[in-house]
A and B are shown apart, each in its own frame.
Chain A
Amino acid sequence: MSNVTRKELAVAVHEQLGISQRNSSDIVDTVFSVLKDSLVDGESVKLVQFGTLTVRDKSPRKGRNPRTGEAMTITKRKMVSFRPSKQLREQLNK
């Protein structure tokens, strides 16, 4: 098992599409920055074959500082959640 990073994705673009390595890595960065901008605007990203990334609001809740045991309110915040598409789930379980 290994870890796929931007580097491996850039290599795939380079090898499969014949785009220079330098351009490939810029392009990969651009793809993720487009995705990030959309999510930062609160707009979810739906890639049919892969899945959907959504920004969800989490309401404030009571929590404790695990170190001091002090009770505190955890402010409301947003989180990004991912729902895999049916196709992706099927691919993983083939």
Chain B
Amino acid sequence: MNKSELIEALAEKINMPIREAGSITNTLIDTMTEALASGDSIEIRGFGSFVVKEYDSYTGRNPKTGQKIKVSPKKLPFFKVGKELRERVNSHQGGKKSARKK
């Protein structure tokens, strides 16, 4: 599913024109991006959370050439899936135990 499919599905569910569903989707993405950019975390109950981790600079190596390189400090967002979504994603394979039988 990409953004336009999300917008279409949303428009249909909330009974609003595509245009408005599009503005809503963009507002949400922008708000979430700004939150992470200012170091805030995002926590959506049942869905998951996004947390920004900060890394100091370190000396890394190019794995292919072995050459040393200095990696500058950076921030990276991480996602942790929420309980409800995790359980629903897993229940779709028809029971954890029976799924292991060959």
Contacts and interface: CB of A to CB of B under 8 A. Distances in A.
Interface of A: 1-6, 8-9, 12-13, 16-17, 19, 26-28, 30-32, 34-36, 38-51, 53, 55, 60, 73, 75-82, 84, 88-89, 91-94
A46 B99 contact: no
Contact of B27 (A6, A12, A46): A12
Contacts of A8: 31, 35
A31 B6 contact: yes
Interface of B: 1-3, 6, 9-10, 13-14, 20, 23-25, 27-29, 31-33, 35-37, 39-48, 50, 52, 74-79, 81, 84-86, 88-90, 92-93, 96-97, 99-100
B90 A78 contact: yes
7 contacts: A4-B35, A13-B27, A32-B47, A44-B1, A49-B33, A55-B89, A80-B89
A48 B55 CA distance: 24
Given A13-B28, A46-B1, A92-B36, A80 B81 contact: yes
Interface class of chain A by DSSP? mixed
A7 B41 CA distance: 14
B33 A40 contact: no
Contacts of B33: 49-50, 88, 91
B6 to A, nearest CB: 6
Given A81-B79, A93-B74, 6 more contacts: A6-B45, A26-B14, A40-B88, A46-B1, A49-B29, A91-B37
Given A35-B6, A47-B6, A80-B79, A4 B40 contact: yes
B85 A94 contact: no
Nearest to A6: B44
A35 B96 CA distance: 23
